[in-house]
Structure 1
Amino acid sequence: MLTIEELKNKSSQYLNDKKSIAIQLSKDILAEPETGYKEFKTNKKIYDVLKSLDLEIVNNLAITGLMTTIHGAKPGPHIAVIGELDGLPVPGHPFSDKDTNAAHACGHHIQIGNMLATLFALNSEEILNNLSGSISFIAVPSEEYVEIEWRNEQRSKGEFEFLGGKQELVKLGIFDDIDISMMTHARGNFSGFGYGGTGNGLVAKFIEFHGKSSHAGGDPHLGINALNAANLSMSNIHANRETFYDDHHIRVHPIITLGGSVVNQVPEIVTLETFVRGASLEAIKNANLKVDNCLRAGAMAVGAEVEITTLPGYFPLFHDSNLQEIYKKNLQNTENKSSELDHGGGSTDMGDLAHLMPVIHPYVGGATDASAHTAGFIVEDYDLAVVEAGKMMAFTIIDLLYDGASTGKEIISKHTPRLSKSEYLKTMREFSNVEIANYNIG
């Protein structure tokens, strides 16, 4: 039996032999970005690589997801390594799709690459014969919470229930027998690796204000201006910001997606989209109630109607401290720079999994000094973001599944899930709501 350090050295060699494949797959995905639940080309690219390795593939999970599983010599914990398939619309990004504006401005293409790199590091008899347990590599659709109107239409048709891919896979039972999950996310304006920290959760809102059209110059008094209702609502939200507790990390950031039809007509229909983000489920619920009051008040002030659709978003992110400590030690045993992160205002459906099982969601640098979701966000160091990131996850998995998976079993036994699957799904569905308030007195 190899020692644990010998195993890690061997796994590193196996990865180095095939790292060009993982890097090239990342670059191929970068070149043809797709948004959530539409990642068909991306799915095919990954499928072809996995098929070339003679692996058994489970395909078409939540439309575009896929997975493969490898097994140690003995039974033990089941670990998931996750990569996300989708990009998001970012006009002006140098690698954006010319028709859809989709771009990998959040680095999901390197997640698929470092997921594959982890597979290359572990998928040999020499490694697996020393491990107890299974490792699934899951390419997950739709992490970016965008195109809400389109997704809600698909949801109403029964194509899926939840707008986030991991959420849908939880519902479908893909994570039922998985004990631990991990993934590594890209980060801009950052060097080395970041571990720990927490992140906001969110609910999404789609709002329609209905007024009454009239000639904007000749008869504005006959109309009900839906744009005024929307503007007042946003001002109401701004007036509430001082009521948000600092440690709740509330973020409310609406956009107008339809501001009217023509300039010489009083706007009859105006639509908004917004997220309500917060550091805990209770904070999100409280802020969401305030936002609903603001929306009703804006409609009431001008005698309009407002339809408020609230959709379940993502749960707040946190990490299992014991699992994180193992990952941290692997970072410290390499030449890679690493640092512990604080709270982040963004959101991910990895937070949903964190409520169900032990997870880690570290970050890796290697991108430009630009914020994610912008045209300037471009991954430059693929050796770091793909190869080294995959190596760190592989080393962590070896720690977990070595010696009869004693460490992995200990982490699982010490972890208390915050929610059961049924409690999680119930909470998700309770966030879903449609309210219509009509204040038209004419």
Structure 2
Amino acid sequence: MDAICRRGENMDKIERKIEAIIDAHAKELIEFAEDIYRHPEEGFYEERTAAKVADFLRGLNLKVHTGLARTGVRADWMEQDGPNVTIIGELDAIGCREHPMADSVTGVAHACGHHAQLAAMIGAALALADEEVRASLSGSVSFFAVPAEEYIDARKREKLAREENIGFPGTGKSELIRVGAFDHTDIALTTHVHMVPVEEDLYLGNPSCNGFSSELVIIRGKAAHAAISPWEGVNAVNIAASAMNMIGLMRETFRDDEHVRVHSLVREGGEVLNSVPDKVVMEEKVRAKTLKGIEDAKEKIDRAFDAAAMAFGGKIIRKNLQGYMPVRVRKADSALVEAARDLGATYREVELTDHNNASTDVGDLTHLMPVLNFTFRGFEGSLHGADFRITDTDTAYILPAKMLALTTYKLLRKNAAQAREILREFEPVFDREAYVRYIHSRTE
């Protein structure tokens, strides 16, 4: 659906001021985004990025909290009565060593557009922190730069838990939920570059997205001389190969409506060629549309490894790792649609049948609170690919900033009528305590 009204014809005085403030700082926002782009950092270790965000928000005279889930930065004002809207930006980059802007040591690059999110978030903060704009809101606003949206592998998780005291080291938002950093959030507002094929400037709402479960699989065999007496050994590599073959053959048993995806990665696969390899270490990830679909697919994968080990006389040791919950579908709220129309942007609204096969830890948030989301264009190349780059700074940095700010204003103006209606209608799956218990039950 395209916007059909003329740009800005229904905007009030405050909305026009919001847009004018962001336009006046456009060059600053672009420079901010490009600086983050040139200095990518990996999840839970985004020290430079977090410091830059914190410094900017302090300059707006906001109360800034740092060190949340190690590098998270939250700035807010909480003195105004009414609902709290939390605008979220993600700090981390994705592993992509072939990207031209990849960090030479860590191999991460901003090949997923998180730097654009941060520019949009601080752009919204610039406008909403204005004294007149702030006075027009019947509620409070927070700006939350969060760590570690991208997948954290098993080795790093162990280090984070052991050395950094991160209780849920698989995902930044989950750890922030655990420590109570979202306790004062009533409505979350998120954005991202387009993750599904969309030609319009904006894609409004939250399509359903796959969640996933992951595990560390240690395959133990028995070493023996590979030439003299291979029959005395148990080949762990052969067990791994057999399990992966079985997984490939069972793909037809996965339900189409669950959008199941299985990913296997060998971390260790034997040490010397003239001995029967006695140890293989793998990570497995199983994606699906629902929590039940994830559990059903994971059970099949586990059976494949157990059966292969039994056939060869080996042993499987597994450690369940935390995944992401599926994103609960949410159609475009009126505040998002009104903002897009006011800005004269082309847009398409999420349909209940839309689905994204990728995963994001925003899914965890959708089980606890309303999450209003939109995605935007302004880039070329593939997500997580070496060819990803921003090509239209206005569409990728400035338009999302205006969308975040205007949507927040529409939610909280007039006694926060739209925000209150959203909260009345929302039914959470978990509160924080129940969520923490659920995660523990799946990782112990």
CA shift, 1:396, in A, is 0.9
Q: Distance between the aligned counterparts of 1:242 and 1:431, measured in 2?
A: 26
CA shift, 1:112, in A, is 0.8
CA deviations over 1:285-334 (Å, ceiling 9, x no partner):
1111111111111211211111111112111112444x633212322333
CA shift, 1:382, in A, is 2.0
Q: Is the 8 A contact 1:319 1:361 kept in 2?
A: no
CA deviations over 1:140-181 (Å, ceiling 9, x no partner):
001101332211332245621111111111111111121000
CA shift, 1:350, in A, is 0.7
> Does 2:182 match 1:175?
yes
> Does 2:41 match 1:34?
yes
Q: Distance between the aligned counterparts of 1:374 and 1:148, measured in 2?
A: 22
Q: Give the equivalent residue in structure 2 for 1:385.
A: 396
The one of 406, 417, 422 aligned to 2:428: 417
What is the 5 A alignment of 1:302-381? 302-321=312-331, 324-341=333-350, 342-368=354-380, 370-381=381-392
Q: Distance between the aligned counterparts of 1:223 and 1:195, measured in 2?
A: 57
CA shift, 1:224, in A, is 1.3
Q: Give the equivalent residue in structure 2 for 1:407.
A: 418
Q: Is the 8 A contact 1:319 1:360 kept in 2?
A: no
Q: Is the 8 A contact 1:4 1:398 kept in 2?
A: no
**3-state secondary structure, aligned to 1:234:** helix
Q: Give the equivalent residue in structure 1 for 2:103.
A: 97
What is the 5 A alignment of 1:33-432? 33-70=40-77, 74-156=80-162, 159-162=165-168, 163-187=170-194, 190-191=198-199, 192-196=201-205, 197-321=207-331, 324-341=333-350, 342-368=354-380, 370-432=381-443
Q: Is the 8 A contact 2:44 2:147 kept in 1?
A: yes
Q: Distance between the aligned counterparts of 1:305 and 1:109, measured in 2?
A: 44
CA shift, 1:255, in A, is 1.5
Change (3 A) 1:380 1:71: farther
- % identical equivalent positions: 35
Change (3 A) 1:374 1:125: same
Q: Distance between the aligned counterparts of 1:125 and 1:360, measured in 2?
A: 25
Structure 1: runs of 5 or more not aligned: 434-442
Q: Distance between the aligned counterparts of 2:299 and 2:283, measured in 1?
A: 16
CA deviations over 1:35-89 (Å, ceiling 9, x no partner):
11111111122122223333321000000111101368x4111011001111121
Q: Is the 8 A contact 2:57 2:125 kept in 1?
A: no
Q: TM-score, normalised by structure 1?
A: 0.92
> Does 2:33 match 1:22?
no
Q: Give the equivalent residue in structure 2 for 1:11.
A: 18
Q: Distance between the aligned counterparts of 1:333 and 1:117, measured in 2?
A: 17
Q: Distance between the aligned counterparts of 1:303 and 1:273, measured in 2?
A: 21
Structure 2: runs of 5 or more not aligned: 1-9
Q: Distance between the aligned counterparts of 2:365 and 2:399, measured in 1?
A: 24
Q: Distance between the aligned counterparts of 1:351 and 1:306, measured in 2?
A: 31
CA deviations over 1:351-403 (Å, ceiling 9, x no partner):
111111110232111111x3211111122222111110111111111111101
Q: Distance between the aligned counterparts of 2:270 and 2:279, measured in 1?
A: 6
State the Cα RMSD in Å: 1.8
